Structure 1
Amino acid sequence: MEWLFDPFQVSFVRQALWAGILVSLICAVAGTWVVLRGMAFLGDAMSHGMLLGVALASLAGVNVLVGALLSAAGMALGVSVLGRSPRLSQDTAIGLLFAGMLALGVIVVSHSRSFAVDLTAFLFGDVLAVGGDDLAGLGAALALTVAVAALGHRAFVALAFDPRKAHTLGLRPRAAQVLLTGLVTVAIVASFHIVGTLLVFGLLIAPAAAAALWARSIVTIMLGAALLGIVSTVTGLVVSWHAATAAGATIAAAAVGLFFVSAVAGLLRQRLAARTEAAS
């Protein structure tokens, strides 16, 4: 079993493990609602549309987290405004803003010779370079995520399954949608500069989707997603250490791989149950 524990004898790999665990917990909470509410496209658009804000913040000498937050907030506001048009669906609004903001971000990056943010780092992050301050920031983001999820739980449940009933119960579905979008924004912005937009989106969607195939309650989905995210982090770090692959991309690949394993296992279970029922 030395091959499993050897990577974590190194301090920066242990730091990466803690970062991956914190990101997994954040994404498990937010990702559950993304999956149940069908907000995967919005999450993807936010994670990649942040490039414009990151690029402008870097050129202006401002903290890139500020640019990422403003960019994600602008994306959410734009989707909300365009989505009110009776002739445009929300998916159309998201697609337009996604393409436009990403294109502008790439233009800014390509035009500036002194651009300080590497596109590879933006996509895949640098989880092996995590420091104590980064872990503290992720811990604060986790506390905020849990607080928002607990505060809006009842409204989120109604919004995910029956928005009209949410309005009838006086739960203000529009306000709940804004709060839910803010929850996703916190998860993406807090994590992307450490693990990259690809890893954030992978851990935001794949573990929650895999857990949703088996779990029967929202809390169980969150717990299952957290466990699968942590397993993906450990697997990705071990494989990247021995195979000399990019750590962030390997963790994301492990998360998606676990989803397909879960999906295949679920399909086999259904077929076995159908055969057992037919035989009886």
Structure 2
Amino acid sequence: MELLTSPFEVSFVFRALIAGALAAILCGCIGTWVVLRGLAFFGDAMSHGMLPGVAIAALLGGNLILGAALSALVMAAGITWVARESKLSQDVSIGLLFVGMLAVGVVIVSHSQSFAVDLTGFLFGDVLGVRRQDLLFLAVATGLGVLASVLLHRPFLALAFDERKATTLRLRPQWAHVGMLAITALATVASFQIVGTLLVFGLLIGPPATAYLLFSRIGAIMAASAAIGTLATYVGLLISWYAETSAGATIAVLTVLTFFAVLIAKRSLMGYDRTAK
């Protein structure tokens, strides 16, 4: 038992566990809608599109999370505007903004070699460097994300399964879509410091996708996703402590491995049932 608890007696590891659990709850609720709506590419693009804001904030000596939030806001607004004005598919508008924002970020970063360390933390996360104020910010973001998921449950549900029916029911699917993009951006911005922009995708997609294999009700998927993400955070921190690996990357890898383990187990059980019959 001491092997399972002793690392968390260290204050920064314990803070990392709390932060990871909050991020798992936030990403579990919002990631459920991302998976059901098919917005995985948007989540990936958003996690990279925050780079310009973070780079500019670092250059000016400002708050990195604020810079990421402003960059995410610009990207979400840009995607919505391009899709509406050009009549092109949403994937095209996401791809254009994804490439543009990432390229601008790389240009800014390449201009100053002093960004090298900050960029590494931005890409791969620094879960063990979470501060008390980070926990407060993440707790507020988690509360807002959960509240939005509850209040907008009906329009989100209609939008995820039948956009035309959502229009018939006067649920304003366009505004529901914008709201879904906004809370996805919220989850990405709030969690990027926990697992990094390249790895936030793990908590946002991995646990909800795994829960979707096991449950059919939205509430159950969200709850299971939060539990899976929290467990991955706990186990990932344990592994990284003893194996001396990157904590954020280890957590993200575990979320993906859990999905494939559940998928293979489910397929095996289905095959066994068919054989038994």
Q: Which range, TM-score by smaller chain?
A: over 0.9
- 1:3 corresponds in structure 2 to 3
In the alignment, structure 1 segments of 5+ residues that lack a partner are: none
Q: Give the Cα separation in 2 of the matches to 1:77 and 1:134.
A: 26
Question: 1:20-67 CA deviation, whole Å, 9 max, x = no partner?
Answer: 100000000010000000000000000111001111122123222222
CA contact (8 A) 1:55 1:117 kept: no
Matched, 1:204 2:208: no
Structure 2 distance, partners of 1:125, 1:87, is 36
* Runs of 4+ deviating beyond 6 Å: none
Residue type at the aligned position of 1:189? V
Quickly say closer, same or farther: Cα 1:86–1:110, change in 2 above 3 A.
closer
User: 1:33 matched to which residue of 2?
Assistant: 33
Aligned pairs for 1:142-221 within 5 A? 142-221=142-221
Distance in 2 between the 1:267 and 1:170 partners? 40
Give the stretch that moved more between structures: 79-88 or 212-221: 79-88
- Look up the equivalent residue of 2:26 and give its one-letter code: I
> How many residue pairs are counted as aligned between the two chains?
277
The offset of 1:86, in angstroms, is: 6.0
Task: State how far apart, in whole Å, the 2-side matches of 1:145 and 1:116 are.
Answer: 32
Whether the 8 Å contact between 1:83 and 1:89 is mirrored in structure 2 is yes
Name the residue aligned to 1:137: 137
1:58–1:117 Cα contact (<8 Å) kept: no
The one-letter code of the counterpart of 2:8 is F
Between stretches 85-94 and 134-143, larger displacement belongs to: 85-94
Deviation at 1:84, TM superposition (A): 2.6
Q: Does 2:83 align with 1:83?
A: yes
Asked whether the equivalents of residues 195 and 252 of structure 2 are also in contact (C-alpha less than 8 Å), the reply is no
Which residue identity does 1:30 align to in structure 2?
A: I
After the TM superposition, which residues 1-280 of structure 1 pair with which residues of structure 2 at under 5 Å, given as runs?
Answer: 1-84=1-84, 88-115=88-115, 118-276=118-276, 279=277
Contact 1:198 1:249 survives alignment (8 Å): no
Supply the RMSD in Å over aligned alpha carbons: 1.4
The amino acid across from 2:150 in the alignment is: A
- Report % sequence identity: 55
Deviations along 1:132-163, whole A, 9 cap, x unmatched?
11111111111111111111100000000001
For 1:213, the aligned partner's letter is L
CA contact (8 A) 1:198 1:252 kept: no
Q: CA–CA distance in 1 between the matches of 2:186 and 2:129? A: 21
Q: Secondary structure at the match of 1:171?
A: coil
Q: Deviations over 1:226-256 (max 9, x none)?
A: 1110110011101001100010100101111
- Determine the C-alpha separation between the residues in 1 that align with 2:159 and 2:270: 29
Structure 2 CA distance for aligned equivalents of residues 209 and 259 of structure 1? 7
* Normalised TM-score (structure 1): 0.95
Moved more, 164-173 or 2-11: 2-11
